[in-house]
Amino acid sequence: MNKDLDKSTVQTAYARWAPIYDAVCGPVMVKGRRAAAAAARSVGGKILEVGVGTGLSFDDYDATTEITGIDMSAPMLEKARTKMASGRYPFVKDVVQMDAHNMTFADATFDCVVAQFVITLVENPERVLSECHRVVKPGGRIILVNHLYSEVGLAAAVERWAAKKTRSLGLRPEFPFARLEAWAQSNDNATLVERRKVAPFGIYTLVCFERTSAIAA
């Protein structure tokens, strides 16, 4: 398996992506984004979007929810703030520049934490998952959507090849589901409740964890 991406590569990449992100990644990822937001709406309440980017997901929420977004990239957040300023998203409470590895929110702040196309490209995915778990309430959910590694066959070979070419773009096609599963297994209070393929053609996978009880001190 390739090394995890480092923060400076990701920050440089998303500063470049910001001006064209909505045009390029909006349509391609829309089904995955919508599936994750629908799963989050079914939990409802206070929702944290980790790696909210340009706020493309705002259209997928409504007044039954209160959205807070964080992202490491100031240029991506600037686009999200422009969307907020349109007045179309009164349910978006705030977007904040923050590293998902070290969130400043108190424990058990949110009913649901969503990360759409993020977990595979952070520097330390297990640490980010543990931070998501810390800030979600007992009984709350962590919902991820991503392209995950195909593991076998031609698709896996293509992904391994593409992984070397796409690192500098802040993309990572060869991240295995086993890592997400192992994180949950190593954590007494995290349960894997759903893993399912999402259209188009099942290229994205939605993964959902539940925080089952308070974390022991």
Nearer to ligand SAM, 10 or 203 (CB): 10
Shortest spacing between CB 131 and ligand SAM, in angstroms: 9
Shortest spacing between CB 25 and ligand SAM, in angstroms: 6
> Which range binds ligand SAM by CB under 6 A, 40-48, 70-78, 150-158, 204-212?
70-78
Q: CA 47 → CA 43, 81, 83, distances in Å?
A: 9, 17, 18
Count CA within 13 A, CB hemisphere, residue 12.
8
53 touches ligand SAM (CB under 6 A): yes
99 touches ligand SAM (CB under 6 A): yes
Q: CA 127 → CA 169, 187, 212, distances in Å?
A: 22, 12, 18
Using an 8 Å Cβ cutoff, are 11 and 72 in contact?
A: yes
Residue of 112, 117, 120 whose CA lies nearest to 183 = 120
Q: Which amino acid is at 38?
A: A
Shortest spacing between CB 187 and ligand SAM, in angstroms: 19
Of the residues 37, 40, 48, 51, which one makes contact with ligand SAM according to CB under 6 A? 51
Nearer to ligand SAM, 10 or 43 (CB): 10
43 touches ligand SAM (CB under 6 A): no
Pairing between strand 110-116 and 92-97? unpaired
92 touches ligand SAM (CB under 6 A): no
Q: Which amino acid is at 60?
A: D
Residues that bind ligand SAM (CB under 6 A): 10, 14, 25, 29, 33, 51-53, 56-57, 70-73, 76, 99-101, 116-118, 121-122
